[in-house]
Amino acid sequence: MTNKVIPYGRQNITQEDIDAVICALQSDYLTQGPKIVEFENAFSDYIGVKYSVAVSNGTAALHLCALALGIQEGDKVITSPITFAASANCVKYCGGDVVFADIDPTTYLLDINNVRSLLEKSPKGTYKGIIPVDFAGRSVDLEAFRELANEYGLWIIEDACHAPGGYFLDTNKKGQNCGNGNFADLSIFSFHPVKHIACGEGGMITTNDEALYNKLLMLRTHGITKNDSLYHNSTDFANGTLGSEKYPNWYMEMQTLGYNYRITDFQAALGTSQLKRADEGIVKRREIAKTYDNAFKGKGYIKGQSGVVEGHAYHLYVIEVENRLGLYNYLKENNIFAQIHYIPCHLMPYYKQFGWKEGDMPNAEEYYKNCLSLPMFPTLRSEEQNFVIEKVNDFYKK
């Protein structure tokens, strides 16, 4: 039917997006201007959280979270092996130790029971935090994780890169949006083009905690503040003369070791424009997922993410199959570029040097043998999706 390549994910840039970027490029600010605050406010409204801090990418967001929460040399932090490496790497950036806990083989999410048994096996205080991941767009039950974290005095960074617009139902059957700050201390998002909202590069941290919010703002810009209520040095010093009562306009203080993790105004403008279509995108993703679900129902050779999936944001549509390599190659011959999410993080050579080895995470390793992410993005046309379904079924009929 079509010679065009069908990727697993793809951004959608409209004329409105292009106009928004051009408008930012023609304004007085390319960076550090009003478009950033605009994007942050729009994002806070969308998620239903108090504070949002826009940064240069999702990895920078994770690093700033790790810094703001004060991860130090030797601190132990628990995360999932089935995630993008950055979820774990942020702990290493600060000198901490990553402890992987296995996934639930039906939801593919970090299994809270495995986290609990790790915590029970060590004296309280051994672990500092948990980084659960809303893998594929399916929210972890953060209410349950919060309860466990409180019991052990841990913080939570929710890696919500796959799940802007996703939610889970709490014990009162109320929807809790990913990143809304009700359970996690900090949540992070990415605006890489394969994610829901594209900025080219970009990221966001959300929180309801004002103190953490202020720390993040400083850390994002070299550890510098321009808020005179926070200054340490005297007004006399700042003015260079005695008897001066006000800080001069040029004055600023670097109070902590920060970074330059800012996003630009033209990227933020693109983000705000994309955000307007975020709900539409989720509706489309859920329709695509439903079509796959129906098409594969009763097909013994396909297993998917099972259980309750209300609130799933479907960054990915993952299946588990036998002869995954064969299917992957067959789809590729037909210009369908499926992808693997993820090679288990603990078996990356970098992490193996810390003692992780095959057999440590049996569910994650078994999952990796069979998993495949099929094309899933809002502009996937129904002919294209039907072609994908047909090719998957053809492969197993042969």
Ligand X SMILES: *Cc1c(COP(=O)(O)O)cnc(C)c1O
- Contact residues toward ligand X (CB under 6 A) are 57-59, 83-84, 86-87, 133, 159, 161-162, 190, 192, 203
Closest CB 355 distance from ligand X, rounded Å: 23
Edge-to-edge, what's the strand order for the sheet holding 186-190?
Answer: 51-55, 203-207, 186-190, 155-159, 127-131, 76-79, 97-100
Closest CB 15 distance from ligand X, rounded Å: 25
Closest CB 55 distance from ligand X, rounded Å: 9
Output 115 or 392, the one with its CB closest to ligand X. Answer: 115
Output 60 or 347, the one with its CB closest to ligand X. Answer: 60
Closest CB 110 distance from ligand X, rounded Å: 12
Rounded Cα distance, 316 and 125, in Å? 36
Output 133 or 392, the one with its CB closest to ligand X. Answer: 133
Closest CB 322 distance from ligand X, rounded Å: 26
Closest CB 76 distance from ligand X, rounded Å: 20
Closest CB 148 distance from ligand X, rounded Å: 21
Closest CB 394 distance from ligand X, rounded Å: 30
Which of 70, 64, 49, 43 lies closest to 208 in space, CA to CA? Answer: 49
Output 84 or 213, the one with its CB closest to ligand X. Answer: 84
Closest CB 192 distance from ligand X, rounded Å: 4
Output 197 or 392, the one with its CB closest to ligand X. Answer: 197
Output 57 or 373, the one with its CB closest to ligand X. Answer: 57
Output 93 or 231, the one with its CB closest to ligand X. Answer: 93
Output 162 or 284, the one with its CB closest to ligand X. Answer: 162
Output 44 or 190, the one with its CB closest to ligand X. Answer: 190
Which of 209, 222, 241 lies closest to 69 in space, CA to CA? Answer: 209
Q: How far is CA 394 from the centre of its chain?
A: 34
